[in-house]
Chain A
Amino acid sequence: MTSVQVRDVSLSFGAYDVLKQLNLDVPEGEFLVLLGPSGCGKSTLLNCIAGLLDVSDGQIFIKGKNVTWEEPKDRGIGMVFQSYALYPQMTVEGNLSFGLKTAGMAKDEIARRIARAAEILQIEPLLKRKPAALSGGQRQRVAIGRALVRDVDVFLFDEPLSNLDAKLRSELRVEIKRLHQKLANTMIYVTHDQIEAMTLADRIAVMKGGVIQQLDAPQVIYNKPVNRFVAGFLGSPGMNFLDGQVAGGAEPAFAIAGARIPLDRYGFDRVAAPGKAVLGVRPEHIALGEAARAMPFSADAGVELVEPMGSDTLVWTKLGGQGFAFRVEAERHLASGDQLRIGFDPARASLFDGQSGNRI
């Protein structure tokens, strides 16, 4: 069953269109991540689903009910914000119970729900404290608890981990994933952090300019990005882009200065018209030395720069006169000036149209 449906939703502030005729279906129990750079409309979309922003056009359904004009409280949603948004003058208990009291719920039911949420999130010892006396991670836990006690169908997360430091972020990330497994609610999660998106999502919707660029499972988005924007947005370090000419026909190939990359193993989405194109290769798909020679394409390259990153090392070189980076394990010691053989399998690369940037 579909949990959240967004139908042709548009939103404009004056002449500026933030969302353009956007459609989205989220099945029950799915963890959907809205991913995109700032200003792409992902938070706006979430606020529209929550009912905190009125749409200019279109409809929103939650559990089959048209909630386009409903108040946030009547939509069956719980929301977690980036800045936690805990009421500073109330204790943790007060924060958790505020919505329930407003709804006029019976005291023992409120107590029961708070106890359950506190147990799930392990915040029982904090119940009598004020938010100011909590750490960032504890505050975000309480904020999640506030959504939890509402016993809703859909959880909305608006960049909930962005204010936390790296260590806490990865801890809470795991916790949110565990929570999703336990509750099996629908969760819609906005972030600009691709690692959060990759690790948490059942599906990712990559957004740009108020439009969903690609909506698919993380691995598909990672391996088969539909356009150059999606390809460049996901992956760290980012994908290498080589400008060149594509030649179709019986023996398709991609030509850059001084090299010809055979594309006979590449899975074309459509017939490639000869002309300008961009070949995208992920740094982790590049092999060295003997392994490189075994690849369908290999070339000699000189090391320009080495960036050790702890677990592995990023090596910068040039291919056909264009910057090209690849990853090697940290044990492998390379220095600038070294000559080596690099190679990759074009079947794992992505080819984009030179003009539109769409995948070929």
Chain B
Amino acid sequence: MAEQVLRAAPDLAVASAVPARTSALSGPQGPKPRRRFSRRNIFIYGTLALVAVYYLLPLYVMVVTSLKGMPEIRLGNIFSPPVEITFEPWVKAWSTACTGLNCDGLSRGFWNSVRITVPSVFLSIAIASINGYALANWRFKGAEVFFTVLVVGAFIPYQVMLYPIVIVLREIGLYGSLWGLVLVHTIFGMPILTLLFRNYFASLPEELFKAARVDGAGFWTIYLRIMLPMSLPIFVVAIILQVTGIWNDFLFGVVYTKPDTYPMTVQLNNIVNAVQGVKEYNVNMAATLLTGLVPLVIYFISGKLFVRGIAAGAVKG
């Protein structure tokens, strides 16, 4: 040890301009210096930037195109920013674009979609959360069978059930109405949502449920007073899943509604795929962006809660 110190001494002498510490500490000390432009960093950030650009490019083209007038689009330079910014296509897409006989733009579809999405989301989540709670905490007779049936239900392709449901809706007089579609969305949301809620409630400490039972709380009191207040994250996840899923739905919308009650996605398709007249790319782009705006906004405002909720449900189940 003494020898080592002696050998280190000359090095110290060289560095004596720096306030000297004890000789044993002459080696590297303090936080490890990091080079900002190391090969590793360039590679990581380079790749990320490349992928991000690749993903954002279509969005960029859409936004730019939607802000150009038709003469400018005809020049064919799809990547160039608009020379003259115009909001005319957005206004037209929203309020005057024609689909079939209706010429009131996407606004009709937007309000239809709102009227479909809000009750569907509310109903499906309300029912599924109670299902999940009952399955996770109250081990009633036949719970396993019930659960298995639900899970199997999640794997049945929609196409198989399209036509039978048409008949069912017709028989109960809901075919073609918004409420018919709400019913369909509520039913089809059930398997995956119940699964989601069951796993979340099963991950909550069982002793909490037992304590509430000792305290004399029944099925509904425990659900409303104990479980609900602890389940914000999973409700946010469910709301996001349902809002985006139902908003983006096309198949059920086109099958179970009539032109008057078409949801926004179906109407968008009809605008974009209109065969008569000139293709108004700027209007189409604006209409598409308008339709995508709702899920986008939902993602932005709830991103953090979404991640937390998914993680919460994933830990145990």
A contacts, CB < 8 Å to B: 47, 50-52, 71-73, 77-79, 81-83, 85-89, 98-99, 102-103, 143, 146, 150, 158
Contact with A along B215-235 (1 / 0, CB 8 A): 111000100011001100000
Assess whether A77 is in contact with B214, with CB atoms less than 8 Å apart: yes
CA distance A103 to B221 in the complex (A): 12
Q: Is B25 an interface residue (CB 8 A)?
A: no
Contact of B208 with A by CB under 8 A: yes
Q: Which residues of chain A come closer than 8 Å to B225, judged between CB atoms?
A: 87, 98
Q: How far is the CA of A82 from the CA of B212 in the complex (A)?
A: 15
Q: Which single member of B207, B216, B226 contacts A82 (CB below 8 Å)?
A: B207
Distance between Cα atoms of A143 and B226 in the complex (Å): 16
Contacts A/B (CB < 8 Å), 18 sampled: A51-B213, A52-B213, A71-B216, A72-B216, A73-B213, A79-B210, A79-B214, A81-B211, A83-B205, A83-B207, A89-B229, A89-B230, A98-B215, A99-B214, A102-B215, A143-B211, A146-B211, A150-B215
* Contact of A102 with B216 in the complex, beta carbons under 8 Å: yes
Instruction: Specify which chain A residues have a CB less than 8 angstroms from the CB of B208 in the assembled complex.
Output: 85, 87
Interchain CA distance A77-B213 in the complex, whole Å: 11
Which single member of A52, A86, A88, A89 contacts B214 (CB below 8 Å)? A52
A73 to B213, CA, bound (A): 7
- With CB as the reference atom, state the residue of chain B lying closest to A78: B214
What is the number of contacts between chain A and chain B, taking CB atoms within 8 Å? 59
List chain B residues, Cβ under 8 A from A50: 210, 214
Known: A52-B210, A98-B225. A85 touches B205 (CB 8 A): yes
Partner of B215, one of A47, A73, A82: A73
The residues of B that contact A72 with a CB separation of less than 8 Å are 213-214, 216
A71 to B216, CA, bound (A): 8
Given contacts A73-B214, A83-B205, A85-B207, 19 further A-B contacts (CB under 8 A): A52-B210, A52-B214, A71-B216, A73-B215, A79-B214, A81-B210, A82-B207, A85-B205, A85-B208, A85-B210, A86-B211, A87-B225, A88-B230, A89-B229, A98-B225, A102-B221, A103-B216, A143-B211, A158-B207
User: Is B215 in contact with A99, judged by CB distance below 8 angstroms?
Assistant: yes
Main secondary structure of the interface of B (DSSP, over half): helix
User: Which residues does chain B contribute within 8 Å of A83, judged by CB atoms?
Assistant: 205, 207
B229 CB contacts on chain A under 8 angstroms: 89
Neighbouring B residues of A85 by C-beta, 8 Å:
205, 207-208, 210-211
Indicate whether A98 sits within 8 Å of B205 (C-beta atoms), given known contacts A52-B210, A85-B211, A87-B226.
no
Interface string of B101-118 (1 = CB under 8 A from A): 000000000000000000
Bound Cα distance A247, B130 (Å): 69
Shortest Cβ distance from B208 into A: residue:
A85
In the complex, are the beta carbons of B216 and A73 less than 8 A apart?
yes
- With both chains docked as a complex, state the minimum distance between the C-beta of A148 and any C-beta of chain B, in angstroms: 13
A285 CA / B221 CA spacing, docked (Å): 57
List the B residue with the shortest CB-CB distance to A82.
Answer: B207
Contacting pair B230 A81 (CB below 8 A): no
| Proximity string of chain B (73-113) to chain A, C-beta cutoff 8 Å, 1 when within and 0 when not | 00000000000000000000000000000000000000000
Neighbouring B residues of A103 by C-beta, 8 Å: 216
Which of B207, B210, B217, B230 makes the CB contact (< 8 A) with A102? B217
Closest 5 CB pairs of A and B: A99-B215, A73-B216, A85-B207, A89-B229, A85-B211
In the bound complex, residues from chain A placing their C-beta under 8 Å from that of B230 are 88-89
| Residue of B212, B216, B221 with highest tally of chain A CB at under 10 A | B216
Q: Taking each of A77, A78, A88, which has the highest tally of chain B beta carbons within 10 Å of its own beta carbon?
A: A88
Closest B residue to A77 by CB, please name it: B214
> Bound complex: CA of A60 vs CA of B165, how far in Å?
52
Residue of B nearest to A88 (CB): B230
Q: What are the residues of chain B within 8 A of A87 when measuring CB–CB?
A: 208, 211-212, 225-226
Cα A77 to Cα B215 in complex, Å, equals 10
Q: How far is the CA of A99 from the CA of B229 in the complex (A)?
A: 17
A81 touches which of B207, B217, B221, B226 (Cβ 8 Å): B207
**Residue among B210, B211, B217 having the largest count of chain A Cβ atoms under 10 Å:** B211
Bound together, the chains give a CA A150 to CA B211 distance in angstroms of 12
Residue numbers in A under 8 Å from B210 (CB-CB): 47, 50, 52, 79, 81, 85
Q: Check B211–A79 contact: CB distance below 8 A.
A: yes
A98 to B222, CA, bound (A): 11
Complex Cα distance, B226 from A85, in Å, reads 11
Interface residues of B in 125-147 (CB under 8 A from A): none
Give min CB distance, A48 to chain B, whole Å: 12
Complex Cα distance, B212 from A238, in Å, reads 40
- Using Cβ atoms and an 8 Å threshold, which residues of chain B touch A51? 213
The listed residue with most B CB atoms (<10 A of its CB), out of A81, A103, A146, is A81
Residues of A within 8 A of B217 (CB): 98-99, 102
Question: Nearest chain A CB to B228's CB is how many angstroms away?
Answer: 9
Report the nearest A residue to B210, measured CB to CB: A52
What separation, in Å, do the CA atoms of A103 and B217 have in the docked complex?
A: 8
Q: How far, in whole Å, are A81 and B221 apart by their CA atoms in the complex?
A: 20
Residues of B with C-beta under 8 A to A88: 230
**Chain A neighbourhood of B213, CB < 8 A:** 51-52, 71-73
Query: Which chain A residues lie closer than 8 Å to B214 at the CB level?
Result: 50, 52, 72-73, 77-79, 99
- In angstroms, how far is the closest chain A Cβ from the Cβ of B226? 6
Q: Hey, which chain B residues are within 8 Å of A102, CB to CB?
A: 215-217, 221
Contacts of A89 in B (CB 8 A): 229-230
Q: Could you tell me the distance in whole angstroms from the C-beta of A37 to the nearest C-beta in chain B?
A: 21
| Least Cβ–Cβ distance between A109 and chain B, in angstroms | 15
Q: Could you say which residues of chain B place their CB within 8 Å of the CB of A86?
A: 211
A73 and B211 CA atoms in complex are apart in Å by: 10
Closest residue on chain B to residue A98 by CB atoms: B215
Q: Hey, which chain B residues are within 8 Å of A78, CB to CB? A: 214
Closest to B221 in A: A102
Docked Cα-Cα span, A90 to B306, in Å, equals 24
User: CA separation between A51 and B211, bound complex, in Å?
Assistant: 11
**Bound complex: CA A272 to CA B210 (Å):** 49
| Contact partners of B226 in chain A: CB under 8 A | 87
